[in-house]
């Protein structure tokens, strides 16, 4: 068991080392979009399924509440929290539209839509990003594996260099925390 634990920790470290070697430019690009959006009075809209839904809520809470220090709230929302909206949309239209319809209702030009999918193949996340693009929102895809369709449709896609869902999710939350910290530093003195 000790060796298995060490192997999993090492896998996580290796993914993050590859992020550091290869993806800092994309993280900067994403952070700049988030900062510019918030500076201009827009909001960050997060969405995903399962663990990515939890990450969406986590990152939204970091921006609205605080990350490292007390400061004014930064506008963010997770589209994964209203069960009445989610279940009515899924029931009336189909699960694929649960994020697209919410973006249609809540998104404004200048906002940033962040779709999170470990495989990049979640149809509802892809449809949400497409709806955001149709409305002239900046779109960001956080994904992994081969990036799937999400990497192709998002304005900026960061494809975590892993095929393991757990390692991808760990990297997504690390990336999200970095972006929250950079936004907090840039916007809240």
pLDDT tens across 42-59, in order? 999 999 999 999 999 999
Nearest of 34, 38, 146, 127 to residue 79 by alpha carbon: 127
The CA-atom distances, in angstroms, between 152 and each of 80, 126, 146, 157 are 23, 10, 11, 8
Among the listed residues 132, 137, 147, 136, the one whose alpha carbon sits nearest the alpha carbon of residue 26: 147
The pLDDT score that the predictor gives to residue 30 is: 98
Task: Look up the pTM and report it.
Answer: 0.96
Residue 157: predicted pLDDT: 96
Judge: domain 2-187, CATH 1.10.510.10: no
**pLDDT at residue 84 above 80?**
yes
């Amino acid at each position: 068991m000790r060796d298995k634990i060490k192997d999993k920790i090492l896998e996580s470290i290796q993914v993050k080392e590859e992020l550091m070697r290869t993806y800092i430019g994309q993280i900067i690009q994403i952070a700049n979009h988030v900062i510019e959006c918030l500076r201009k009075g827009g909001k960050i809209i997060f969405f995903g399924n399962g663990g990515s839904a939890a990450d969406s809520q986590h990152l939204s809470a970091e921006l609205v509440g605080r990350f490292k220090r007390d400061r004014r709230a930064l506008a963010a929302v997770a589209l994964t929290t209203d069960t009445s909206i989610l279940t009515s949309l899924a029931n009336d239209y189909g699960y694929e539209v649960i994020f697209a319809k919410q973006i249609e209702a809540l998104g404004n030009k200048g906002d940033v839509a962040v779709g999170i999918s470990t495989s990049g193949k979640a149809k509802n996340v892809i449809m949400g990003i497409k709806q955001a693009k149709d409305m002239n929102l900046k779109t960001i895809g956080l994904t992994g594996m081969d990036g799937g369709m999400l990497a192709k449709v998002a304005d900026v896609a960061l494809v975590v260099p892993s095929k393991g869902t757990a390692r991808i999710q760990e990297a997504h939350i690390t990336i999200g925390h970095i972006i929250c910290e950079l936004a907090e530093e840039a916007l809240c003195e």
